[in-house]
Amino acid sequence: MKQNETYRITVEKRHSSLHTKDIISNIADSLSNKVSLENSDWEIIVQILRNKTGVSVIPPDTILSVDREKRVELD
C-alpha cells in the first residue's frame, strides 16, 4: 500500500469470542495510511470462523457481490 492510499477494514466473524474493535485497532495501529470508509483504495477483509482466520487486502472494485451480479444478469 502506497503512503498516499487509503484503506478500510471489514471484519466478518462467526463463532469467535474476539471483539471486532480489537481486531480493527490491532491492524490500524500498524498502518500509517489514512482510513476512508466510503471511498478507500484498499479493502482489508478479515474473516474468522472459530479458530481459522483469512485476510485479504484487495481493491474494493474486485470484491465479488452476488447481489450485484444478479442485478447485472437481470438488466
Is the CB of residue 64 less than 8 Å from the CB of residue 30?
Answer: no
- The DSSP letter of residue 34 is P
Give domain 7-74's CATH number out of 2.170.120.12, 3.40.640.10, 3.30.2300.10, 3.40.710.10. 3.30.2300.10
**pLDDT number for residue 27:** 98
- For residue range 27-41, list pLDDT tens digits in order: 999 999 999 999 999
Quick check: pTM over 0.85?
no
Binning pLDDT at 50, 70 and 90, where does residue 13 land? very high
Q: Where are the domains of the chain?
A: 7-74
User: At residue 23, what is the residue type?
Assistant: I
